Chain A
Amino acid sequence: MPDTEAAGVPDRDLLAEVFTPSGTNAAEAIVDLLDRVVHRGAVVTGDVVISLAGIDLVRLDLRLLLLGLEGTPG
């Protein structure tokens, strides 16, 4: 998966701090991060928040992609 490898390069230090290396590779580390940051966290509703065009689509795409990616061995 060359894409995820490229994405893992710039912030290797941050990831190294965050993840206990017990078999977790860089791609899975990003999966864990994206899943939490993009799918979790408190949700703000109402007129105070500006809705970003396309963000719901991103969440949906990501969910499907993460399930596939995580299941890939190695």
Chain B
Amino acid sequence: MSTGNWLCAYAITRNRPSTWDVGPAPRLIGYRDLGVVVSEVAPARFDRIDTLDPVDGTLAELAREHDAVVRAVFRSEPVLPLRFGTVLDGEDAARRLLAAGYDQARDCLEEVAGHREWGIRIRHVEPAATTRPDAAGLTGTQYLVRRRERLKAIQRAREDVTGAADRLEEALRKQAADSVERARPHGVLVNTAYLVETSREAEFHAEVEWFARELRAAGATVETSGPWPPYSFTDVKLGAAADA
């Protein structure tokens, strides 16, 4: 592994005199009308990265630094965020990357320009169907009736929530340029990222508000996160071979 000049790369953006303010360290290395935002990094910062607990603060701190740089550029220019941990082998390597990935990077940057990412998460935790009604003072038949009513109510609530969630997703897809489903842990019914043109954000959020009321009434919660730089909409591989 090289021990020379490491450049931590954050994002690809337009090659323009920087109007963004990210402090003294990050700078732009340009090729034609594209530039890659980099800063010098001591290899030791990434030492033993595999032993860092992802949320114990150390990795979270590195990730926040990355996000802060991407975000600072994103305030004034479109960005194509690079995945955390992209370390380039010096300035020449950065230029070769832009040269080799030029068409792909430029197309992707064009697509996300003027858009921001919003995350929508719908959470619905059902009462366990195995919990039993209090049997005290009930006859056997009454108990069974009560139990069946309870199971029916759970079923009805589930149908209400999934119905409203489907309608919300359909409405949001109409407002968004693109959408990506994200991992859904237990209790999360919908976890989707939307790429929304800035001029359509008001309508997008109005739709969220409208359906959130219906979903809340049915016992679910709707969470919004954002605006994000378009992290979830940069599904490209930019490669540069040795002799490129």
Contact = CB atoms under 8 A, between A and B. Distances in A.
A53 B50 contact: yes
Interface residues of B, number: 71
Contact of B105 (A23, A42, A70): A42
Contacts of B61: 7, 10
B196 to A, nearest CB: 14
Nearest to B117: A36
B154 interface: no
Nearest to A57: B50
B241 interface: yes
Interface in A13-43: 14, 18-20, 22-24, 27-43
Given A36-B232, A40-B231, A40-B234, A22 B224 contact: yes
B56 interface: yes
Contacts of A19: 225-226
B222 A44 contact: no
A6 B54 contact: no
B85 interface: yes
Contacts, number: 196
Overall SS of chain B's interface: mixed
A51 B9 CA distance: 13
A6 B61 CA distance: 11
A47 B85 contact: no
A27 B46 CA distance: 23
A35 to B, nearest CB: 7
Contacts of B50: 53-55, 57-58
Contact of A33 (B2, B53, B63, B85): B63
Contacts of A47: 89, 93, 240-242
Contacts of B60: 7, 30, 33-34
Contact of B80 (A10, A24, A42): A42
Contacts of A27: 55
Interface stretch (B64-72, B135-143, B164-172): B64-72
B224 A4 contact: no
A58 B238 contact: no
Interface stretch (B18-26, B145-153, B155-163, B182-190): B182-190
A52 B85 contact: yes
B4 to A, nearest CB: 10
Given A41-B82, A61-B54, 9 more contacts: A18-B225, A32-B225, A35-B182, A38-B84, A40-B232, A43-B86, A46-B239, A50-B87, A54-B50
Interface of B: 1-2, 6, 9, 12, 46, 48-57, 59-61, 63-64, 66-68, 80-89, 93-94, 96-97, 100-101, 105, 108, 119, 123, 125, 182-183, 185-188, 221-228, 231-232, 234-242, 244
14 contacts: A6-B57, A34-B55, A37-B66, A37-B84, A42-B236, A44-B83, A44-B237, A46-B239, A46-B242, A48-B240, A55-B85, A65-B55, A69-B55, A69-B185
